[in-house]
Structures are given as C-alpha cells and as structure tokens.
A = this chain, B = another copy of it.
C-alpha cells in the first residue's frame, strides 16, 4: 500500500478551495501515504473562500512526489506565468508516477508543457481552451491518459480522486473510502452540467465567468501566441 508514498497538492493564491480539499479528503485515506501542501512559500494561501489554508512546505523543501495534483481557480492566471511554479511542476513531473489536475488546474499543467498530446478535461466553461496547450479535449468528468489524470470542475475532484484510488489500488480500497465518506450523492437540484441547465441559468453563470474568461485568454495568448 505504499505505491503512493508522497502525494502533493500545489497551492497558489486565489485557488478554488474545494478543488483540492475534495481530493485531499479521499487521497489522505490511502494507507501509508503522506500528503504535502506545497506553495511558493510556507504559510497562508488565499482561496476563493478566504485566506484560511496553510501550505506546509515550499518548492525547495518538497520531497519528490509520487503523485502531484494541481487544483484550479481564478489564480491560475498568475500561476501560469510564474516561472518558479512551472519549474517546480516540470521537475516534479519528471520523477512522479502520476501528474494530475482538477478543474482549471489543467491549464497550469498546460503552461508547464505537460499536456502536449495528452487527453484531458477541465471545468466545462474552460474546456474549449485545452487545445491551446496541445491537449486533446475529452468531455468527461475524469480522464486518464497514461500517467496523467485530469478532473472536471470543482466537485469533480472527488470522483477524480476515487478514480485514482481504484486504478492504482483496486476497487476494494475505493469502495471502503467511499463508504467512510458516505459518498452517495443526491443533489437536491439537477443542474450540474451545461447540458442540464436552462438557458436562463446558463446565461447567468456564463456572465459571471465572462470577465475572468477574457483575462484568462489574454494570458493564454501571451503564452502560446
């Protein structure tokens, strides 16, 4: 059970906290695994819900990870252009067994050159930008392409992490973790993907994303232009 001894999450300011706290809850239950919360600097990281997360290690002191997971959030715009972050990712990816992302974290992997020719997914609103980094977009909640696992938006991180546990350790451990976390979802509304949303709801959510999307595309243009 020690095939994933060191599991690390990349933290950066303005990440979406559930992108990483969901998979953290699942992967932390792998017997023998140690989880590392790694950022440019140890200490508080600002999330979309407030500055309430503490990174426990920095890039220089993080051990070689067996699995690295990159969450998403508005802060990807800065992280995608941060050389220290991209260097850290490339260095870790060279030695890791699994390189993974949740939500728009895929674009930080992309900016580091780690999705070229790789089948991948991301948050539905950002899906169309995957080819800008050479990724092959797949409409799925979780996508595996060799050693690269990517998850869809935010809550997809829970399905993503259980998929990793199942593929690496087998059905039994995935089931036991799922039962412990009582993960038998029953959303009280049924609007979790754009195909299920009314035009009015889709417009409302889309208009929240629009200014962020434009800023993101300017970053993508600079990186790939």
Contact = CB atoms under 8 A, between A and B. Distances in A.
A194 to B, nearest CB: 7
Interface of A: 16-18, 21-22, 24-25, 28, 35, 37, 44, 48-56, 103, 123-124, 141-142, 152-156, 158-159, 162-163, 166, 171-172, 174-176, 178-189, 191-194, 196-198, 200-202, 204-205, 208
Nearest to A140: B186
Contacts of A159: 185-188
Identical subunits present = 2
A142 B188 CA distance: 9
A36 B178 CA distance: 29
A14 B191 CA distance: 34
Contacts of A123: 182
Given A22-B22, A141-B184, A179 B194 contact: yes
A180 to B, nearest CB: 5
Contact of A180 (B21, B152, B183, B205): B205
Candidate in A44, A179, A188 with the most chain B CB atoms within 10 angstroms: A179
Given A22-B18, A48-B28, A53-B54, A189 B178 contact: yes
